[in-house]
């Protein structure tokens, strides 16, 4: 193999390695850009933290009785009480969804392995979106009070309902970061950055459910459910291909 062919082969191998590897620069890890004689392709992620504008409230009511019919009837009564509490809290019906209705037998087993029917468990589950975050704790308390002990809460977490404004800011941050990176590469290569050839967007919203706690203090005010909204991050990743000016 001639010297020139060896150099070409080595350059192609290095370019392939650069494209397939990740680079860690200043704490930001991103894919190495694909650089060619026509331009550079790279990605960047823009993020913004915002206060959630809603609370997701998922709960179930349940009843255990001797027959499936009596268990179902009891569960229906509890579900009606929960709906009345939500209606009394002025929750829009469009924000209330039934997610599950089930009835199944419950058994116990003796040491000899003999199966005995204990009764039937009926369950109805609901997913409720609370848009009034300030009063969301009061809604939870109203449902708990109306149903009593035959209730389980599966989810009580702040959520982002309207992400348009946050996504717009995250997108702007991503584009600015991508352009800054592209200009850095152009300067390092001694060329001038040209027009944008293509753009791809990948949206990711980081939403971490937060636990809810009921204060067991004796005072009435402190015993109310309080939901801390915290902050959630909206992130958008863009992949942009820039041309180099000739």
- pLDDT tens by residue, 213-235: 444 334 445 578 999 999 999 99
Residue 241: how many CB atoms within 10 A of its CB? Answer: 19
206: number of Cβ within 10 Å: 11
Token pair for residue 242? 């820039």
Q: Is the dihedral of CA 173, 175, 181, 184 positive or negative?
A: negative
Mean pLDDT of the chain: 82
Indicate whether 134 pLDDT > 80: yes
Any idea which residue has 């060896």 for tokens? 6
Residue 54 has pLDDT above 90, yes or no: yes
List the Cα angle 75/78/80 in 5-degree steps. 110
Paired sense of beta strands 34-36 and 39-50, if any: antiparallel
Give the predicted TM-score (pTM) of the model. Answer: 0.70
Of residues 171 and 21, more confidence is placed in 171
Region(s) of the chain under CATH 3.30.70.2970: 54-158
Task: State what percent of residues in the chain have pLDDT above 70.
Answer: 77
> Which class is 27-51+163-245 in CATH?
alpha beta
Q: For residue 223, what pLDDT is reported?
A: 77
Could you tell me where in the chain the CATH 3.30.110.170 domains are found?
Answer: 27-51+163-245
CA distance 5 to 12: 11
pLDDT at 41: 92
| CATH superfamily assigned to domain 54-158 | Protein of unknown function (DUF541), domain 2 (3.30.70.2970)
């Amino acid at each position: 193999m001639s010297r020139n062919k060896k150099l070409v082969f080595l350059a192609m191998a290095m370019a392939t390695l650069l494209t397939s590897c990740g680079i860690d620069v200043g704490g930001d890890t991103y894919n190495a850009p694909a650089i060619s004689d026509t331009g550079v392709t790279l990605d960047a992620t823009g993020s913004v933290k915002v206060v959630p504008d809603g609370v997701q409230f998922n709960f179930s009511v349940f009843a255990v009785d001797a027959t499936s019919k009596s268990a179902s009837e009891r569960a229906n009564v509890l579900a009606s009480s929960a709906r009345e509490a939500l209606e009394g809290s002025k929750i829009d019906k469009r924000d209330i969804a039934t997610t599950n209705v089930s009835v199944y037998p419950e058994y116990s087993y003796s040491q000899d392995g003999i199966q005995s029917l204990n009764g039937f468990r009926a369950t109805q589950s609901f997913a409720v979106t609370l848009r009034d975050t300030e009063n969301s704790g009061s809604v939870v308390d109203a449902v708990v009070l109306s149903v009593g002990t035959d209730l389980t809460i599966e989810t009580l977490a702040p959520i982002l309902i309207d992400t348009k404004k946050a996504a717009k800011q995250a997108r702007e941050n991503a584009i600015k970061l991508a352009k800054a990176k592209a200009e850095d590469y152009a300067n390092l290569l001694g060329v001038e950055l040209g027009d944008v050839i293509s753009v791809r967007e990948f949206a990711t919203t980081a939403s971490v459910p937060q636990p809810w706690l009921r204060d067991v203090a004796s005072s009435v005010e402190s015993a109310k459910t309080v939901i801390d909204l915290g902050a959630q991050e909206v992130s958008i990743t863009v992949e942009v291909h820039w041309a180099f000016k000739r």
